[in-house]
Structure 1
Amino acid sequence: MKSQKNIDREVNKTLNALEGLVPATTDPFFYSRLSAKLENRDQAENEESFSFGFAFSMAAVVIFLTLNIASITLYGNQFVDNEPIQQEFIDEIAYEYQVFDLSYYESFEEE
């Protein structure tokens, strides 16, 4: 029983302490100034992120194109000279990895 009386007394004491609190007050234009600052901050962040993102993407495209052009000019001439050798190599690999005999179908065409 004592514990219930102690709990009730503590609850009443806490409620009485809360009744004495005064709500916080601000200037009449506090909310409008706060909302204006938040709005300006959001707009500034959006503008900065857009400009950085655009500049970064353009730089990436320029670098990508430059590397492609450089690789084509450096390695493009190398493959033109070796074209017959490469064709022989491709034919040889195709013949070795042939799974079934293609002449099988030619016999049906003759009949």
Structure 2
Amino acid sequence: MKKDRNIEQEVEKTLRSLEGIERAQTNDFFYSRLQKRLENKEEGVSRKWNPQLLVAAAAVIVLVLFNILTVLEYQEAYGDAETVRQQNLEAFTEDYLLEIPTIYELTDEE
């Protein structure tokens, strides 16, 4: 009961505070400027560049250029992929002595 009474008092207090409110005043051309801005927004016309968008676009361009330069430098340094593969295979063969003839190879030669 006491809680309901407090709620009713708060509602009455809020309604009384609304009695003195007046209509907000605006500039004479506020509504026409607002309508024009809304029309431009609906048409997709934006005269201002978003600085965050410009920074993001510049960062993407720089990263793409950096990647292209990296690929070009890698190709110059290591050449063709098949050549690199062959070099790796030869190094592996030398390291593990895979060129030692087996018993089958020795008997075929005789």
- Could you say whether these structures have the same fold, taking a TM-score greater than 0.5 normalized by the shorter chain as the test? no
- Normalising by structure 1, we get a TM-score of 0.44
- Which structure is richer in relative contact order (CA contacts within 8 A, separation 6 or more)? 2
